[in-house]
Amino acid sequence: MAGALLCALPAHGQAGDGTMPVIAIDDLRSQTLRTPAEFWVAPGRVDISELPLAEFRPLTDRHANRGITGADHWVRVRLSNAEGDSDQSWVLRHETSYLDRLTVYYADNGEPLSRIVLSDRVPFGERPLDYRTLAFPHTTPAGGHTDLYLRLGFDKADSLTLNLNLARSDLFHDASRRENLIYGAFYGIMSAFLLIAVVFSLILRQSVYFHYALFLGASMLMWALLNGFAYQYLWPGSVYWHNEGFHIVYLAMAIAALQFSRRFLKTGRYFPRVNRTIRVMQWVFAGGIALRFAGVYVPVLALSFAALTALVLLSVLGLMAYRRGMGYARWYSAAWLFYGVGLGFSVLSAGSSLFSWGMSPLDYAQAGGVVEAACLLVALSERLMGWDQARRQALLIANQDALTALGNRRALDQAFDNLEEQAQGGGDPVFLAFIDLDHFKAINDRHGHDAGDEVLKHLARILRNACRPEDVCIRYGGEEFAVLARAPNLTQALEITDRIRMAFRSQPTRFQGAAIEHTLTAGIAVAMSADGRLDRSEAIRRADAALYEGKRQGRDRCVASAPETLSDPA
């Protein structure tokens, strides 16, 4: 791995005149290599013996970001342990996981230079350190120094930073463990969101949860590549996929994000032009993936960066949807504001030399990814609750009489089913009362159908006031009503029904200055008790028979059904 190189390079002196710049490491902790360390950009492939040392410049924060470049960059520095009483072990690591080559020339105390080439073009297991980015360990002897010449570069142009961290060996390993805990928390939280999305997609059979799961999976894979964990743990032997997979995964994540957005915001229905634009973008990104597999590089790199940057516009789309009445879209908009802006700044930082942030925006973008996933899950939950509320409202309308706002026959059928389940646990008997307005046709003929409707609504109000919340009041049809309620016995059931009859008789309906007097007749049958229960049709038949017996006796009365044997509850 290392070979001796005899090079006539200047020794220690003042930085800027070609002599070696010095950083003391006798009290080393952890730091980023900066001035007095120096750097130089090579116009082509230059051997170490050909370095123009006088052209090296101080490495400052302003010079750290190099943008997209294929040029080799050299960094040089002497690490001095002259004041140290013991050997100093340290680790030098690069910031990113996708640097193709980090060639390290090193020598202790003026000895001939040795060389080691760190590369992600070899299987992960061949690295000197089991670490997610390229890292070089070494020990500088007590009272001595180590000269370093570092060459950083890519086989094909990519975004380069000169951020190299130098840390004492034990502190490096401590920091590595802390990093693993933090990243482990990130992937744990994201995996939990992914599992929730998969479970909901299977239970609810809604494609929007499936597309949310696809987006989360693609996002996690993107971060695993950028963090270096994909190469370290997922495919340590796949040199091709580690080097060629970045832009493919960027584009796949963008496609998944757009597909989820189309489903979640129903763009096909509410924003047809935007929907067509998104579909075109998805096809373009898919074409970029195909080109990358075909070996095209620079255009796909630019397209993948543009795709990530464009995702911030999804926040605007969410705001548009919110203004169209989708309340849950506010969470979607906030989610993409966090994530999209973080990705946008990361791309700007990586793709240009205008900023001195290095790859730090990626950390904020990754943290924003957790916030985004949580906001999207909240948005999905709110959307689901809205869907459930709409479904309940639709069921309420389907089970409700339009005129009186009481239940209808469907509500009576459902109430029978519910009470049948409850009756198995015991409790008071359940009674069915059938109510019919006396001479209702005469009211319509004399006062008009609008007056008749007012009479029906007046009776509905009396029923609601007289009955408890757990009782079921319905308009069965025409001028017929029904009440399904529990009572301790038949006598009390009759008393409740009779109070309704008396209230209706004593409270005429006021309509256009006229007081419309009216009466009703009711028939009552026991539907369920400890002795057994009737099926729905039989209970209705008995209550209806009692009702007509009341009409035969002269109306304006409540009549109980003749006692008959109930069916066996078993």
Which residues are identified as catalytic?
A: 479
Q: How far apart are CA 231 and CA 240, in angstroms?
A: 10
User: What does each C-alpha distance from 243 to 101, 126, 217 come to in angstroms?
Assistant: 12, 16, 20
Rg (CA), the chain: 40
Q: How far apart are CA 233 and CA 120, in angstroms?
A: 14
The residues with which 484 forms a beta bridge, in sequence order, are 432, 472
Reduced DSSP (H G I as helix, E B as strand, rest coil) percent helix, strand, coil of the chain, to 5: 50, 20, 30
Q: Which residue has the tokens 């009186």?
A: 404
| Count of CB atoms situated within 10 Å of the CB of 332 | 29
Q: How far apart are CA 494 and CA 526, in angstroms?
A: 11
Q: How far apart are CA 547 and CA 533, in angstroms?
A: 20
Q: How far apart are CA 523 and CA 542, in angstroms?
A: 8
Q: What residues contact 153, with CB distance under 8 A and at least 6 apart?
A: 70, 71, 72, 73, 100, 101, 160
Q: How far apart are CA 75 and CA 422, in angstroms?
A: 81
Q: What residues contact 406, with CB distance under 8 A and at least 6 apart?
A: 400, 460, 463, 464, 473, 474, 475, 481
Residues 479/406, Cβ–Cβ less than 8 Å: no
Residues 94/120, Cβ–Cβ less than 8 Å: no
Instruction: State the distance between the two ends of the chain, measured CA to CA, in whole angstroms.
Output: 85
Q: Which amino acid is at 168?
A: R
**H or E element that contains 23:** strand 22-24
* DSSP one-letter code for 429: -
Q: What residues contact 179, with CB distance under 8 A and at least 6 apart?
A: none
* DSSP one-letter code for 535: -
